Amino acid sequence: MTPTIPEILAGNAAALSSQAARDDAGDYLASRIGILATLSILAIQEVENGVAARVAENAAIRALFGEALAYDAELLGRLKDATAQTDHNLALSALDAANAELRRLLIALHEKVEAAPDGALEKKILGLYVEMARGRRLVLPGG
Amino acid sequence: MSGQSVVQRLTEYLSRVWAAPVIIEAFARIPGGASRETYRFDAIVAGRRHPLILRRDPPGSLIETDRRSEFLAIRSFHGKDVAAPEALILEEEGAELERPFFIMGRIEGGHASSPFAPNAYGVHAQAIGEQFFSMLGRIAGADAASLPIATVAAAPEPDACWRRELDYWANVIETDQQHPQPIVWAAIRRLRRDPPPPARKVCVVHGDYRSGNFMHDDAGKIVAILDWEMAHLGDPHEDLGWAMNPLWNHFDDTCVAGTVSKADAIGYWERASGLNVDPAALAWWELFASVKGQAIWISSAKEYRDSGLTEPILAFSGWYTARRQDEILADALAALEAA
């Protein structure tokens, strides 16, 4: 997965508290500090939006599974179980763990859909990808 | 050797190699990505000042590239009107500097713009774009077999260029992904289902030719093409697809590389290369470019963790750039399906 907020903040703290080598002074250090600042600002966005984005993505994937239940017998049991779940634990780590399982199922489903082929469900899956990616969008400072 | 500074080690090395006393001045690290440590310095020998760049492997490398290949790629195009620096010394065993490195001439009077800076080229965008895509055309149009890089870079068969690259980067994703990636895997499957036509010419591929990897003088002139570490031989559309990826368009969808329209870019490239763009091939390599990009960002995230969270540029690449690349991929897949 992309680096987590705890990792980003821990990495930033370590970078800021470490002693820079003399050779690193100047452009390199200025660039490095700029990146640390940008990471901090992006972390604000993730703190604000990260839980909602994951809850929404997990729900959207489960909803899609609900439409595919009559489609593939092999995946049926796993899709049914996933569709019946909800996210009670809203810690980012718990949401990410649930998301990982949902994404694995989504990949398996998409492969079946491509093999069938099922153009209607394919279109829904691709639309879901757009929704997922936009839901996780980060905006650079000044953007 | 431990306890000696890089400057001390470099002074010893150059004095030995050049068989003359060398004085190093103005030694400083400069930003240059996470895959190499990059330093600028002046070497004074026999009363003459040489402005130079040192590129050294870090303790752990993000992209497993061959420094000999990078060195010879630069040497292949120095003096050929593509603003390649002069490659001077290659030390693959590290010697006094302990890790592999090479030294090249430093080009003054320019800087690289961030590809995430809006309107980076201002009133000079047209001039920059013409030079940028013309230089790429000259790289593609060159006779690869006659160049130094051909001594180390294997030339794939024209119908195998796509598979070699896609297999390589798909394997990087398979190895380094730490969370399931449905979007990029959907793109990979699509690329495999509909491969491109065979390359009409196997040429030198820069491998990372994009906005942010060239220096310009803020007056409309490109003074250096940088970062040749992923150079290889392959399909000329590969570099075009990469250069035109929306990730490098400075948030302006009306142009490519933050400079000129896609049609103009292709025109400059065709005139300079003597080749014609195959639209079907370019479409394939454009989608591939996003797959390759995502592979690099996924590796960045893994490397950030594996190296103890010490390199913020890896965090940025593995986080912001990865999220943006997923959006580009998803939009591309949806557009292809709708077409």
**ipTM, interface predicted TM-score of the complex:** 0.96
Sorting pLDDT into bands at 50, 70 and 90, what band is B2? low
Cβ neighbors of B335 (< 8 A, separation 6 or more) are none
A42 CB within 8 Å of a chain B CB:
yes
Helix ranges restricted to H, chain B: 6-17, 67-77, 125-141, 161-176, 182-193, 236-243, 262-273, 279-306, 312-316, 322-338
Q: Give me the mean pLDDT over the B313-326 stretch.
A: 97
**Does B1 score more than 60 pLDDT?**
no
Q: Give me the mean pLDDT over the A102-119 stretch.
A: 94
Let me know: does B287 contact B191? Beta carbons within 8 Å: yes
**Does B233 score more than 80 pLDDT?**
yes
The nearest CA of chain B is from the CA of A19 a distance in Å of 12
* Coil, helix or strand at residue B142: coil
**Does B102 score more than 70 pLDDT?**
yes
pLDDT of residue B32: 74
Let me know: does B178 contact B257? Beta carbons within 8 Å: no
**Does B287 score more than 90 pLDDT?**
yes
**Does A17 score more than 70 pLDDT?**
yes
Q: Find the range with the poorest average confidence among A13-22, B41-50, B218-227, B319-328.
A: A13-22
Residue in this structure with the two tokens 């763990």, named with its chain if needed: A97
- Helix or strand run (H / E) with residue B78: none
Let me know: does B193 contact A115? Beta carbons within 8 Å: no
The nearest CA of chain B is from the CA of A12 a distance in Å of 7
A122 CB within 8 Å of a chain B CB:
yes
Query: Quick check: B310 and A14 CB within 8 A?
Result: yes
Taking only the tens place, the pLDDT of each residue in B118-135 is 999 999 999 999 999 999
pLDDT of residue B332: 98
Buried (b) or exposed (e) across A72-82, using 16+ Cβ within 10 A?
A: beebeebbeeb
**Does A66 score more than 90 pLDDT?**
no
Which of residues 61 through 100 in chain A touch B, CB cutoff 8 A?
A: 96, 99-100
**How does the average pLDDT of chain A come out, rounded?**
91
pTM of this prediction?
A: 0.96
Tokens at B98, concatenated: 């302990």
Long-range CB contacts for residues B86-89, cutoff 8 Å, separation at least 24: B88/B52, B89/B17
Closest in B6, B185, B313 to A35, CB measured: B313
Query: Quick check: A137 and B324 CB within 8 A?
Result: yes
Query: Quick check: B312 and A12 CB within 8 A?
Result: yes
AA identity, residue B276: N
* Coil, helix or strand at residue B173: helix
Cα gap B24→B7, rounded to integer Å: 7
Alpha-carbon distance values, A17 to A13, A37, B34, B256, B310 (Å): 6, 14, 20, 40, 11
CA dihedral A22, A26, A31, A36 (to 10 degrees): 50
Closest in A42, A114, A142 to B320, CB measured: A42
Cα gap B42→B256, rounded to integer Å: 36
**Does B235 score more than 50 pLDDT?**
yes
- Residue among B4, B24, B177, B316 with most chain A CBs within 10 A, to mutate: B316
* Coil, helix or strand at residue B237: helix
Residue B160 region by backbone torsions, left for phi larger than 0, else alpha for psi between -120 and 50, else beta: alpha
Chain B positions in Cβ-Cβ contact with residue A28 (cut-off 8 Å): 28-31
Sorting pLDDT into bands at 50, 70 and 90, what band is B181? very high
- What is the CB neighbour count within 10 angstroms for residue B254? 8
The nearest CA of chain B is from the CA of A72 a distance in Å of 18
Cβ neighbors of B282 (< 8 A, separation 6 or more) are B237, B240, B241, B266
